[in-house]
Structure 1
């Protein structure tokens, strides 16, 4: 997905403001399995996925608990680092070879001070990330595992072809055996 479309999906900007952000963005690529973010580290960049898929996870005891998937067009951000300039709690692993757009947080913060449209874009970016977190929390509290699985398939139709079932089960908060049962029932 091209950066213009990604930026516009967050909040439409004038050509001038969009070009200011784009001047601060670089393209980069990493292989499948690369750990983009490490827990207990303050992340200095946010990324947008041009091509590929990623997951965020945290440890509970010795288990990795997946709580987020990102695909083309999605941001990869440690909100703790982005908002508070503090160490994040998540690891982010690339599940495919990924092409990414990188934006240094420090540069973005400078742009917020210089351009009100970019500041509004940043506000909208944060609001959208908050809504995603809220929707996820509500889903975990009120939806059945089957409902969560169907919602995941609706949001990410190709996820079962692109992501290991163990990660999907973890994301849904169920075992792989339970996921297999749900998938068999749906077919």
Structure 2
């Protein structure tokens, strides 16, 4: 890479970056909006939600050092039914679609880093889908506990339950059973 050329972090999360401070229970994206950014969590905790039959379903979550987006809407530049909610006071770096597309044109390294971000978002989504199909509720909870110990302390239980594909009552039963 050319030393005079900015790294993807400097390019995407440098002068072209929009920083967003969100209070707890604040929204960065609402339903029927077009997702125009990929967000990198600098501080706090956010969840990606969708409403179904009056219930909020948690599709994903992100803590410091992780990306989150209504990614299909971002890629297709279409409206989304999803929304992003801060469950703690949060600070996000927002990279726009056009900024990211421009960065890809600067170098192969930028394209590679963009691909890695995309892969991270895909893997998280696909693993959750596979778990919902292949594991029972208790197995999903135990896997979450094993791989997301810190997040356990930060994600509200109603969002954790919906992320695991169960009701809050079922989650309480599983937790009580395992705590015996």
TM-score for both structures, normalised by structure 2: 0.88
- 1:165 match: 157
Task: Identify unmatched segments of 5+ residues in structure 2.
Answer: none
State whether residues 70 and 83 of structure 2, in contact with CA within 8 Å, keep that contact through their aligned partners in structure 1.
no
Which residue of the partner structure matches residue 16 of structure 1? 6
Q: Which has the higher helix share?
A: 1
Compute the displacement of 1:159 (Å). Answer: 3.2
Q: Are the aligned partners of 1:46 and 1:102 in contact in 2 as well (CA < 8 Å)?
A: yes
Q: State the shift of 1:160 in Å.
A: 3.8
Q: What is the CA RMSD across the aligned residues, in angstroms?
A: 1.8
SS in 2 for 1:32: coil
2:60 alignment partner, one of 68, 82, 93: 68
Identify unmatched segments of 5+ residues in structure 1: 1-13
Describe the superposition over 1:14-40 as per-residue Cα deviations: whole angstroms up to 9, x where unpaired.
883233333232433110011111122
Is the counterpart of residue 47 in structure 1 residue 35 in structure 2?
Answer: no
| Alignment match, 2:91 | 99
Partner residue in 1 for 2:138: 146
**Aligned equivalents of 1:146, 1:186: Cα separation in 2:** 9
Q: Secondary structure at the match of 1:28?
A: strand
Q: What's 2:148 paired with?
A: 156
Which residue matches 1:57?
A: 49
* Structure 2 counterparts to residues 119-130 of structure 1, below 5 A: 119-130=111-122
- Residue 7 of structure 2 aligns to a residue whose secondary structure is helix
Q: Judge conservation of contact 1:79–1:88 (CA < 8 Å) in 2.
A: no
Distance 1:170 1:107, change over 3 A: same
The residue matched to 2:34 in structure 1 has which SS? coil
After TM superposition, the score normalised by the length of structure 1 is: 0.85
Residues of 2 paired with 1:44 and 1:174: CA distance?
31
